[in-house]
Chain A
Amino acid sequence: SAVISQKPSRDICQRGTSLTIQCQVDSQVTMMFWYRQQPGQSLTLIATANQGSEATYESGFVIDKFPISRPNLTFSTLTVSNMSPEDSSIYLCSVDFPGQETQYFGPGTRLLVL
Chain B
Amino acid sequence: EDQVTQSPEALRLQEGESSSLNCSYTVSGLRGLFWYRQDPGKGPEFLFTLYSAGEEKEKERLKATLTKKESFLHITAPKPEDSATYLCAVLTTSGGSYIPTFGRGTSLIVHP
Contacts and interface: CB of A to CB of B under 8 A. Distances in A.
A43 B101 CA distance: 8
A31 B104 contact: no
Contacts of B41: 10, 90, 108, 110
B21 interface: no
Given A92-B43, A105-B43, A42 B98 contact: no
A45 B99 contact: yes
A102 B104 contact: no
Chain A interface SS verdict (over half): strand
B87 A107 contact: no
B42 A48 contact: no
Interface string A98-109: 000111111110
A96 interface: yes
A107 B45 CA distance: 9
Interface of A: 1, 4, 6, 10, 31, 33, 40-43, 45, 48, 90, 92, 94, 96, 101-108, 110
